[in-house]
Structure 1
């Protein structure tokens, strides 16, 4: 049962899966191992974990974990900054209407956007705009840490600490997730992968132990 499942995987994995599949009631809840694997590996790890890891890992490597001074923004930077500034309002509306699945999807779309932004800016080439890319990407990771707390409390706290902030992420005001609050000169904490991949071989084993669904 559940207790056994939580010995194998973090509670945040189950939380993510359950909100993402949005069962209308407990009666509709049908746990599917294959869908669980796919959602964790491609969405939670492939999108969100990948972005946070890239943004913080690159900043550690290229800037010794110190947030650089920004330069003049190009159109892509301005668009990225606006994504951060609009996120609290967009998510707040969905949360008030109890659309938790849509709010989580919005956070994942935000992460996906910043993955593409990072890719587009190619900061590893150290060209012009590298500092802006790092500055905005790290601020996006901060926004995600606060936004994710109602869904993935353990993971959001991990991101918070990797960002180099002390205290609890949930003491930050919700609206503050749309502020550009990581300033130039701020020093990041240690960046480590947030999640561990769900392996097919393990799933095959757990299906036998816990049942196929």
Structure 2
């Protein structure tokens, strides 16, 4: 049940419309999976796609799963496809997308989410703090300088999206630290921890 057409279109409210047209082996004609993603749902999907992309780029794909807005995505490194399940009430639909098609389509969504995050009031200071963070220990020795720079850039983008979401939440402790003159060191440490946690999760030691 491989998808014939996969598309995802951003909406003005910050969410997106996802659609897959596919042919079911047991039925004639084309079937369709569609899902309205909330703004946070779209961000989760973008972060998932970015993590998949980084692990695949490093040659260390891993099994993964995401559940968001009634949609479940799963990836098995033994297959070239991303598996999609849509649960709406008692109705359940499943299909698959070649992972390369999914990543190509999601690249545009990543750019949109980055553009939206960059207009956040916390964006300038977060970008500055991330730029000050050094990469994981000996990353350049493991990957070579050019490759390490590319990986660190992608880690910073993922961290930036996560941190903007956290800092923008009402009552955010990180937001308070970013705004306070006396808490900049605490904010810097919080940013550093997020970046290193991402590196530990997404960049295998053997990379």
TM-score (ref. length: structure 2): 0.27
Return the structure number with greater strand share: 2
Return the structure number with greater helix share: 1
TM-score (ref. length: structure 1): 0.26
Structure with higher RCO (Cα < 8 A, 6+ apart): 1
